Structures are given as structure tokens and as C-alpha cells.
Amino acid sequence: MKTVLTIAGSDSCGGAGIQADLKTIAAHGLYGMSVITAVTAQNTIRVSGIHVIPPEFVEKQMDAVFQDIFPDAVKIGMLSDSEMIRAVAGRLKAYHPKWVVLDPVMVSTSGNRLMDQEACECLIKELFPLADLITPNLAEGEVLSGLQITGRETMILAAEKISGLSGGGVLLKGGHLSDSADDLLVRPGEERRWYPGERIENPNTHGTGCTLSSAVACGLAEGRSLPESVAMAKEYVQCAIAAGLDLGRGSGPLDHMWRSEQII
């Protein structure tokens, strides 16, 4: 069985973070492992508290996983600060996993900055060079590129600029475009790839970014190419949104198990 490690924060309502990642990995038939970087008290309405795990204990978790069940792919999500980023980067450099997918959790869906400037610069310096794919949303793409993204043309400029920072692949997610939900994959020396997406009328999209990046990691762990893994992941997320799960009083979670429900 192929294995995927998620390094991220815990979401107590189960819609994002570690919980969303593990559900996604299980839904793809792979074995999921976790390194928890923070514990949050949150639901579909608000985040009421965050407890950051000490970086040295994050390192211990990574050692425990890599020294026993070496992952076929690694997905990285919420990292709180520069010290945490350096700790994770140091262990990745020590173990050299084959595939690393980085979801740069920098800006919330509502537009709030979740990471200060120093941490952003550290993320670019320490983790971008280690990632095979970076998956920013449009708000994060604007922060990383310094450009205002208004449509497909500015998406191209921003994605290429971010790719220049990392030297690897960038999947710029267009879920917040006004007229579509198209994503753009840019890789150095390769032709740009667009992944068209229809806007689905469902306000329950909590954890979409976590789910997409984990699904891409699953495809890579199974031996699929990066473009194929992205296509598979986008289809999985779209179907998880379209399934219409409605839980909670705010922005609810996706239906990660929509495939098994279809079988039933």
C-alpha cells in the first residue's frame, strides 16, 4: 500500500487540516500518516483558539514516521512561524522524500493574513526549493508575486513569477475568480496547463485547499505524473463540493467520502 504523510494543523470540526487530509488519503485507498503542527479550536463559523506545537516535537513526529514507514509523498499545510518552517525544512533535507506538495497557508478564505512577513520570507527561502508543487490560492498568489490577479492573463504572470521563486511547479488555484474556477499549472521549461472548473453553487467549501493538495500527493504517491495527479485531484474536489454535504451553521466541509456513497 502506498503511503502519504501530511504535516499540518488539526481542525477540531474535521473539515480542514489534518482531518481533511487523512479523509482524502483514505478515500483514495492510500495509508495516511500525520505530523501535527498546531491544534485549533474551530468550527464552521469561527476559529476560537490555536495552540502551536513546539517545533522540536514536530521534529520528533517527523523522525518517528520517516524512520519506520517512509512516505511515498508528503503534503505540507499550516506552519505557524519561521522556527516551525525551519524545523520542517531541516527534516525534509535529512530524509529526502520523493515528492513534496506544499500548500502555503498564508491567507484565509476571508482574506485575513495568517502568516507574518518574516514567516512568508522564510517559507520561500527554506521550503519552496524543496517542494515539487506549490498550491497557492489567488490571495496567496498575490502575496507571493506582488501582483494583483484579476483574470487568466494575470494568473499566468503571477504563477510564472512564483515558479521563479521556487524553481518547481506552481498550481495557482482560480476558485475565487469571478467567472470560473480554472486552475493553472506552471512548471519551468514546460507548457502551461489549464484545468477548467465550473463554479458550483455551494457555500460549504471549508478545507478545499487542504483537500486538493492532499489529493495531488495521493496521485504522486501512486506513481502518476504531476499533470495527471492535478487533474485527478481537481475532479475529486469538484465532486466533493457537488455532493452537497451541509453540516454546521457556517461554511461547512466537503463530502470527502462521496465515492463510497455512490457505490452504496
Domain ranges of the chain: 3-263
State residue 262's pLDDT score: 63
Q: For residues 223 and 226, what is the distance between their CA atoms, to the nearest angstrom?
A: 9
Which residue ranges in the chain fall short of pLDDT 50?
A: 264
> To which residue does cell 454546521 refer?
248
pLDDT tens column, 1-39 = 999 999 999 999 999 999 999 999 999 999 999 999 999
- CB count within 10 Å of CB 118 equals 11
State residue 175's pLDDT score: 75
End-to-end CA distance of the chain: 24
Q: Which amino acid is at 204?
A: N
Q: Which three cell numbers stand for residue 189?
A: 521549461
CATH class of 3-263: alpha beta
State residue 30's pLDDT score: 98
Q: What is the pTM of this model?
A: 0.95
* Long-range pairs for 88-97: beta carbons < 8 A, 24 or more residues apart: 88/7, 88/37, 88/58, 88/62, 88/127, 89/126, 89/127, 89/130, 90/59, 91/59, 91/62, 91/63, 91/66, 92/127, 92/130, 93/130, 95/62, 95/66, 95/70, 97/5, 97/66, 97/70, 97/71, 97/73
Helices first, then strands: H and E counts in the chain: 9, 9
User: Going by C-beta distance under 8 Å and a sequence separation of 6 or more, which residues neighbour residue 211?
Assistant: 20, 21, 24, 236, 237, 240, 254, 256
Kindly list the catalytic residues.
173, 205, 207-210
Spell out where the chain has E strands: 3-11, 31-42, 47-52, 73-76, 100-102, 133-134, 169-172, 183-186, 193-195
State residue 168's pLDDT score: 85
Task: For the chain, give the longest Cα–Cα distance.
Answer: 49
